[in-house]
Chains A and B, each alone.
Chain A
Amino acid sequence: MSKIDENILIREDDIAFLDAIVKRFGNEPGSVLSLLKAIQDHYHYLPGQVLEYLCTIASVTPQQIMGVATFYTQFRRRPAGRHRIRVCIGTACHVKGAEQVLTAFLSHLHIPEGQDTDEKKIFTVEQAACLGCCMLAPAVQIDNTIYGHLTAKKIPSVISDFLSSLTGQGKTTQPLDTHNGKEYRGEIRLCTCSSCAAAGARTLYACFRDEIKRNKLNVALLEVGCTGLSFEAPLVEVVLPASRADNRTDSRVYRYGRVETAQVKYILDHHFPRGKLIRQITSGIYSLFEKIYTDEETYPVTRYALDFSRGTGSLYLGKQVHIATEYCGELGVVDIDAYTRHGGFSALKKCMEELKDPEQIISILKQSGLRGRGGGGFPVYKKWQNVLYEEQSPRYIICNGDEGDPGAFMDRMLLESFPFRIIEGMLIAGFTLGIHEGILYIRSEYPLAIDRINQAISLCAEHGITGEHVLKSNFSFSLKVVEGAGAFVCGEETALIESIQGNRGMPHFRPPYPSEKGLYGQPTLIQNVETLACIPWIIRQGPGAFSRLGTAGSGGTKTFALAGKIERGGLIEVPMGITLREIVEEIGGGIQGGTGKEGEKRLKAILIGGPSGGCIPEHLFDIPVDFDVLEEKGGMMGSGGMVVLDTTDCMVEIARYFMAFTQNESCGKCTYCRIGTQRMLHILTRLTRGKGKKGDIEELEHLSLLVKQRSLCGLGKTAPNPVISALTYFREEYKAHIQGICPAKKCKALITYRITDTCIGCTICAQGCPVSAITSVPYEKHIIDSSLCIRCDACRQHCPQQAISIT
């Protein structure tokens, strides 16, 4: 490494910094990840000489440091610019053109090929596995700001918007307290989770806060758990208490979708009027809404406005059942009192004071039919039993929050919105199984989740929920957060354990399972975030209430991240057994921009379970969502990512995309996963480039089988699933690619852009072409030079006449 490094020499302040972090995080091998993170935060990358020096003062070897530093994608080994642009290449962003966005950033910033940082070292452009803002696809994150719905055209304005926002930074947020002991006139509820924040929720929150303060309004402003209505984000709810003068006994809720900061004043004035101006402003608000709702393009890149009053929200929410997401949109996120008032910790109390017997608690889980929500669907009660019957102690519980599917964000939403519920689930497991230490392993891409969980942990400790005497009993329980550093494979439980112990996340053969030999060789229970979030509800409401919701083999509800080519997407929680068609067409509102006319794009398939799952074609959408049914059809519940595809999506290209993802995320340990996935990726890449050969399909099938059956861990065993299912349902498309044809007209090497006779000669396309491949004489039909064309689709997006065809 020192060879590729620039000439950083260790100076005194470097030494002081390193001494300080070693003092803070400890010099044990287990501290390596924390130490490396601190170094990266300080230097923006990992300078070789700093690492070399670290080896001399901490008890870690160069081997361990380098092994870890090169394993996790969060760590950079080359110097970086001042700001990091992270272009999301998650599945939803991928199908909506993330590649074009990435190219546009690189070319706008004049970053030479093969490099990632501009000349002045201001911006570094990286790819992010998934930012979890799938409904805002394609999305990018610049430092801590997320921009959504990008196109190549918007990049210059995104950069300038970001740069201008820098001058306004540094404002500290003050807690809002304006009611002076009087009863609030009402509540403003707003979710500021990462996804909503990407749509501008945090700015909006600050705006509401300032406006309420300025006008001394006696209105509560709550940061609530997410409703999952990402397609309407930022969503504002105004709740007026029942006692108001209009003689209504129930409180009223007004919802506003895609709210802009400019509308804050009007919303407040409308619901919480200050004297005479009411009537005038009330009429003003509607006329304003009408105006902006129709013209999206006149507004800056981050802002959207569409009418929420069409009633789509009720369709979206209609079939949902909230268990893991109970009270979404209602309770303050880190408000422990509100959580307790709404039944929080009563399940824990019930376990500790009424049920007591571990066997009894486990039998409730058994009756509920709860299966692990992380992907595998292993019966939860069995895992608990296995840990219970082990003799060794201490034992540990780990909450697996390493959600890595590049098209899923349920765990992030749950961690950000319902931290106490997850903690309560862990406490119940702890009490039942005699565990006194819990770890929440959360991926580093989720800073807000980490932050909110940490706040919740502190509050629990303050309120005696955790600590030496949980709920004044003799049961002790402590919790801490361990951050991941960017490795999909760490969602695999044996890899996760390695990662917590400060190693490369390389899985090992099971048995022994973690329940027998887990963290530090001790019995360990590992459960996914959503699984834990369901447990308090099951204990409170009884197993029957949960199992009744689902199917015979899969009890309860499941959350999904619904995204892709649909009208309405976001986080949903639905009862098991619901059909895919209900999800896609009723909740999701069907295909985006689809009219159902002949020749128009139609629903094609749904990708379920991300890189470990598969595709289910439209004609099978009437199957129920159930662990076993999905697997039988070649999909997989997986983590719960659902990306809807339309007829313009190419199934070979999608399979290639997933294979590239898994190959890059493979830990590289076992032969079949390391090499087999690479061989598959190359065949798929060849096919998308029009270089397919006879026998490629058979070879893909052969390799799929080997990798599936013989890989060491779940990552490898499931890696071929997208290919296998695509070959089952869309084999013709593969055959066509061998002939050099891409039926979906997606694979760049196999298509040509042409201008049709409907061209009016407006030159807009030529102006938008990044490579000047269009010859344009005004009022004459323009011509695309195919040899220059990079098939970026910019011209087609720009053309007002739909005069650009792909053949």
Chain B
Amino acid sequence: MEVTCTIDNHKITVKKGSTILEAAGKAGIHIPVLCHLDGHTPFTSCMVCVVQEKTSGKLLPSCSARVEEGMIIETASDAVFKARQDALNMLLSEHVGECEAPCTRTCPAHPGLPQMIRHIKTGSLDAAFSIIQQVIPFPSITGRICPAPCEMACTRAGIDAPVSLKLLERYAGDIAAGRQTKDAYNIPPDTGKKAAVIGAGPAGLAAAYSLRLMGHSCTLFEKEAGLGGHIRKSIPAGRLPREVLERELSILGKIGITIKTGISKGSDISLDELQTDYDTIILAVGKLADNESFLPATLCGNNSILINRETLMTGTPGIFACGACTRPMNMAIRAMTHGCLAASMADRFLKGDTLFNIDSREPVRKKNKLFISTVKHYTQQELTELLNSASPDNRVTPLNGEDRGFIKEEAERGAARCLHCDCYKIEGCLLRKYSQEYNADQLRYEQFTRKQIRRIADHPSIIFEPAKCIKCGRCVRLTKETMHGFCFTGRGFDVDITIPFDIPLQLIEEKTLKSCVQLCPTGALAFKEEV
């Protein structure tokens, strides 16, 4: 027998007894699920797969509700979006774990420091450099001059002293320096678009660098003879040796940026001319002088260039601004990140992408902002637990002196101190994916008590962190028939997933265990090798 229903205006006919999820799947309509497993009886735990039955207005878990004749289902209504968000907010209030490490979160550039560190630890220096260079254009510079708020945030600081993040960043930058050729940057073919960047301070340098790496041809204008702006002017050579500065900046030329120094804006170039010659312009002119004549009055506000905070675009389409000319910048890395952001906005502009989401008038950037689950405070016991997966060594001091940096052995020792407080399933976590998609908020529901963080790491390639579990029961169902496996223990909020009798993970049948890891919708079960 067959039944027909309507899902999002598609008429779908399925076998009687089919679930709404199955029917939707048949029509290619995607419904997010966290607990359901194809081929298994529905479990109906997460409540993220809800859809709305239009006639009654009822919300139904699509994984288990059956299709009934004539049903009209909506999978994308506001009510459904809100209900999924509610379920995710609840799950997030129970989920204890960090998506990204505090070092990553604290730095304006959001660099993959833990991943860089893990590459340094294993000696994969190219990989380490390529991670850092994605968001930090000149690690040898910032690795010397940065005030390093990342270290202040480092979880390891709660035990003894932070991981030497700054020295390690510098190490990755310095080691890779010899290998910096155009090929190392993997630049896409030319887009045929021309961009101009005015000002070669930290923001301008980063903007030019980013635009070029996106395949646009790029010209950098600077009024001084040398590049670097503030970095060159105010940082003493003791902190930043000039040969390091020159070496780092030489990359710009290597990757094909046209550099025009000694160009006075206003007298040598005018904005009108630039607008005719270039498809986009990024202003990174530094702190504005009192009587800025180069810029039309419409662009300027009270000592700064007026921009949209989210898109960094000025009132004139195609003209962006970044760095100290828009607001005070307290760190070079903040200015550089601002430059990178302006570049990516200019890139969208050049491609004809919208900077705003038309529906909600929400800036694209906000919408794309990564969802991050965080842990506010670690208990001493939890820190000790985390320390199990790291070297107990004290903070490493370079033998040759702080200004000479790490040698290989020191870098590896320093890297081994990282607690890996970032998630082992930083990619592929469904909870994070949907939390982002449904704009979920981890702090919507007050967390009065939370689960203690534990790491079960006896398996060579798999790690189990029960506090991240959202009790979807996938692993329980997958190991139901195997000799050993996972089970629910306890009741109510105290329900946990455990391995009975503290049996080592390795005793669980390997193939099944691996599918448990792959299908775990959070980082509760993860492969250790994921960088």
Could you list which residues of chain A lie within 8 angstroms of chain B, going by C-beta atoms? 1-3, 48, 51-52, 61-67, 70-71, 487, 504, 506, 508-509, 511, 663-672, 674-679, 682-683, 706, 709-710, 712
Contact of A676 (CB < 8 Å), options: B90, B473, B490: B90
> Does B23 touch A at the CB level, under 8 Å?
no
Q: A70-B488, A669-B43 are in contact. List 20 more A-B contacts (CB 8 A).
A: A2-B501, A61-B481, A63-B480, A63-B485, A63-B500, A64-B487, A66-B498, A67-B487, A70-B491, A71-B488, A71-B491, A487-B491, A509-B42, A509-B61, A665-B492, A669-B495, A671-B90, A674-B493, A710-B47, A712-B61
**In whole angstroms, what is the CA distance A64 to B480 when docked?**
8
> Does B442 touch A at the CB level, under 8 Å?
no
> Does B91 touch A at the CB level, under 8 Å?
yes
- Bitwise, B453-479 to A at CB < 8 A (1) or not (0) is 000000000000000001101001001
**In whole angstroms, what is the CA distance A63 to B503 when docked?**
11
> Does B489 touch A at the CB level, under 8 Å?
yes
Among residues 370 to 426 in chain B, which have CB atoms less than 8 Å away from a CB atom of chain A? none
Could you list which residues of chain B lie within 8 angstroms of chain A, going by C-beta atoms? 41-48, 50, 59, 61, 64-66, 83, 86-87, 90-91, 93-94, 445-446, 448-449, 470-471, 473, 476, 479-495, 498, 500-503
**Minimal Cβ-Cβ distance residue in A for B481:** A61
With a cutoff of 8 Å between Cβ atoms, the chain B residues found around residue A509 in the complex are: 42, 44, 61, 64-65
The answer to whether B93 and A679 touch across the interface, beta carbons within 8 angstroms, is: yes
**Minimal Cβ-Cβ distance residue in A for B50:** A710
Known: A508-B64, A682-B448. A66 touches B487 (CB 8 A): yes
Known: A61-B482, A504-B488, A675-B93. A511 touches B66 (CB 8 A): yes
The answer to whether A669 and B493 touch across the interface, beta carbons within 8 angstroms, is: no
B42, B481, B500: most-surrounded residue (chain A CB, <10 A)? B500
The minimal Cβ–Cβ distance linking B474 to chain A, given in whole angstroms, is: 13
**Minimal Cβ-Cβ distance residue in A for B17:** A512
**Minimal Cβ-Cβ distance residue in B for A663:** B492
The minimal Cβ–Cβ distance linking B252 to chain A, given in whole angstroms, is: 52
**In whole angstroms, what is the CA distance A706 to B90 when docked?**
10
**Minimal Cβ-Cβ distance residue in B for A707:** B90
- 19 A-B interface contacts by CB (under 8 A): A1-B500, A3-B502, A48-B501, A51-B501, A63-B476, A63-B480, A63-B484, A64-B487, A66-B500, A67-B488, A509-B64, A667-B495, A668-B491, A668-B493, A669-B471, A670-B47, A671-B90, A677-B493, A712-B47
The answer to whether B90 and A1 touch across the interface, beta carbons within 8 angstroms, is: no
**In whole angstroms, what is the CA distance A676 to B94 when docked?**
10
With a cutoff of 8 Å between Cβ atoms, the chain A residues found around residue B65 in the complex are: 509
The answer to whether A70 and B493 touch across the interface, beta carbons within 8 angstroms, is: no
With a cutoff of 8 Å between Cβ atoms, the chain A residues found around residue B492 in the complex are: 663-668, 674, 677-678
With a cutoff of 8 Å between Cβ atoms, the chain A residues found around residue B41 in the complex are: 508
The answer to whether B83 and A667 touch across the interface, beta carbons within 8 angstroms, is: no
The answer to whether A666 and B491 touch across the interface, beta carbons within 8 angstroms, is: yes
The minimal Cβ–Cβ distance linking B491 to chain A, given in whole angstroms, is: 5
Contact of B471 (CB < 8 Å), options: A65, A71, A668: A668
The answer to whether B485 and A61 touch across the interface, beta carbons within 8 angstroms, is: yes
> Which 7 pairs, one residue from A and one from B, show the smallest C-beta to C-beta distance?
A668-B495, A62-B500, A66-B500, A63-B487, A70-B489, A678-B493, A509-B64
With a cutoff of 8 Å between Cβ atoms, the chain A residues found around residue B94 in the complex are: 674-675
The minimal Cβ–Cβ distance linking A716 to chain B, given in whole angstroms, is: 11
**In whole angstroms, what is the CA distance A679 to B93 when docked?**
9
With a cutoff of 8 Å between Cβ atoms, the chain B residues found around residue A683 in the complex are: 446
Known: A52-B501, A61-B482, A671-B87. A67 touches B491 (CB 8 A): no
Secondary structure of the A contact surface, majority rule: helix
A52, A63, A509, A667: most-surrounded residue (chain B CB, <10 A)? A63
With a cutoff of 8 Å between Cβ atoms, the chain B residues found around residue A674 in the complex are: 94, 471, 492-493, 495
The minimal Cβ–Cβ distance linking B482 to chain A, given in whole angstroms, is: 7
Contact of A2 (CB < 8 Å), options: B46, B470, B502: B502
**Minimal Cβ-Cβ distance residue in A for B44:** A509
With a cutoff of 8 Å between Cβ atoms, the chain B residues found around residue A677 in the complex are: 492-493
With a cutoff of 8 Å between Cβ atoms, the chain B residues found around residue A710 in the complex are: 47, 50, 59, 83, 86-87
**Minimal Cβ-Cβ distance residue in A for B19:** A509
With a cutoff of 8 Å between Cβ atoms, the chain A residues found around residue B498 in the complex are: 66
The minimal Cβ–Cβ distance linking B512 to chain A, given in whole angstroms, is: 12
**Minimal Cβ-Cβ distance residue in B for A512:** B66
The answer to whether B501 and A675 touch across the interface, beta carbons within 8 angstroms, is: no
The answer to whether A671 and B91 touch across the interface, beta carbons within 8 angstroms, is: yes
The answer to whether A61 and B493 touch across the interface, beta carbons within 8 angstroms, is: no
The answer to whether B45 and A670 touch across the interface, beta carbons within 8 angstroms, is: yes
The minimal Cβ–Cβ distance linking B344 to chain A, given in whole angstroms, is: 36
The answer to whether A61 and B471 touch across the interface, beta carbons within 8 angstroms, is: no
The minimal Cβ–Cβ distance linking B31 to chain A, given in whole angstroms, is: 15
B42, B482, B487: most-surrounded residue (chain A CB, <10 A)? B487
The answer to whether A668 and B93 touch across the interface, beta carbons within 8 angstroms, is: no
With a cutoff of 8 Å between Cβ atoms, the chain B residues found around residue A676 in the complex are: 90
**In whole angstroms, what is the CA distance A67 to B43 when docked?**
16
With a cutoff of 8 Å between Cβ atoms, the chain A residues found around residue B483 in the complex are: 61
**In whole angstroms, what is the CA distance A710 to B489 when docked?**
23
The minimal Cβ–Cβ distance linking A218 to chain B, given in whole angstroms, is: 55
The answer to whether A712 and B44 touch across the interface, beta carbons within 8 angstroms, is: yes
With a cutoff of 8 Å between Cβ atoms, the chain B residues found around residue A666 in the complex are: 491-493
With a cutoff of 8 Å between Cβ atoms, the chain A residues found around residue B481 in the complex are: 61
A65, A677, A679, A683: most-surrounded residue (chain B CB, <10 A)? A679
With a cutoff of 8 Å between Cβ atoms, the chain B residues found around residue A670 in the complex are: 44-47
The minimal Cβ–Cβ distance linking A485 to chain B, given in whole angstroms, is: 12
With a cutoff of 8 Å between Cβ atoms, the chain B residues found around residue A3 in the complex are: 502
**In whole angstroms, what is the CA distance A675 to B446 when docked?**
11
**In whole angstroms, what is the CA distance A667 to B43 when docked?**
13
**Minimal Cβ-Cβ distance residue in A for B59:** A710
**Minimal Cβ-Cβ distance residue in B for A667:** B491
Contact of B90 (CB < 8 Å), options: A48, A65, A664, A675: A675
**In whole angstroms, what is the CA distance A64 to B479 when docked?**
10
The minimal Cβ–Cβ distance linking B461 to chain A, given in whole angstroms, is: 22
**In whole angstroms, what is the CA distance A556 to B486 when docked?**
49
With a cutoff of 8 Å between Cβ atoms, the chain A residues found around residue B44 in the complex are: 508-509, 669-670, 712
The minimal Cβ–Cβ distance linking A326 to chain B, given in whole angstroms, is: 38
The minimal Cβ–Cβ distance linking A60 to chain B, given in whole angstroms, is: 11
The answer to whether A1 and B501 touch across the interface, beta carbons within 8 angstroms, is: yes
Known: A674-B495, A706-B86. A67 touches B42 (CB 8 A): no
Contact of A671 (CB < 8 Å), options: B47, B449, B480: B47
The answer to whether A66 and B501 touch across the interface, beta carbons within 8 angstroms, is: yes
With a cutoff of 8 Å between Cβ atoms, the chain A residues found around residue B502 in the complex are: 1-3
With a cutoff of 8 Å between Cβ atoms, the chain B residues found around residue A672 in the complex are: 47, 87, 90
**Minimal Cβ-Cβ distance residue in A for B494:** A668
With a cutoff of 8 Å between Cβ atoms, the chain A residues found around residue B45 in the complex are: 669-671, 712
With a cutoff of 8 Å between Cβ atoms, the chain B residues found around residue A671 in the complex are: 45-48, 87, 90-91, 470
With a cutoff of 8 Å between Cβ atoms, the chain B residues found around residue A511 in the complex are: 66
**Minimal Cβ-Cβ distance residue in A for B492:** A666
The minimal Cβ–Cβ distance linking A481 to chain B, given in whole angstroms, is: 24
**In whole angstroms, what is the CA distance A679 to B492 when docked?**
12
The minimal Cβ–Cβ distance linking A241 to chain B, given in whole angstroms, is: 55
**In whole angstroms, what is the CA distance A70 to B46 when docked?**
22
**In whole angstroms, what is the CA distance A566 to B274 when docked?**
91
The minimal Cβ–Cβ distance linking B283 to chain A, given in whole angstroms, is: 45
**In whole angstroms, what is the CA distance A62 to B480 when docked?**
10
**In whole angstroms, what is the CA distance A669 to B488 when docked?**
9
Known: A2-B501, A3-B502, A65-B500. A675 touches B91 (CB 8 A): yes
With a cutoff of 8 Å between Cβ atoms, the chain A residues found around residue B91 in the complex are: 671, 675
The answer to whether A679 and B488 touch across the interface, beta carbons within 8 angstroms, is: no
The minimal Cβ–Cβ distance linking A709 to chain B, given in whole angstroms, is: 7
With a cutoff of 8 Å between Cβ atoms, the chain A residues found around residue B59 in the complex are: 709-710
**In whole angstroms, what is the CA distance A710 to B79 when docked?**
13
**Minimal Cβ-Cβ distance residue in A for B493:** A678
A61, A675, A712: most-surrounded residue (chain B CB, <10 A)? A675
With a cutoff of 8 Å between Cβ atoms, the chain B residues found around residue A2 in the complex are: 501-502
The answer to whether B479 and A63 touch across the interface, beta carbons within 8 angstroms, is: yes
With a cutoff of 8 Å between Cβ atoms, the chain A residues found around residue B61 in the complex are: 509, 712
With a cutoff of 8 Å between Cβ atoms, the chain A residues found around residue B487 in the complex are: 62-64, 66-67
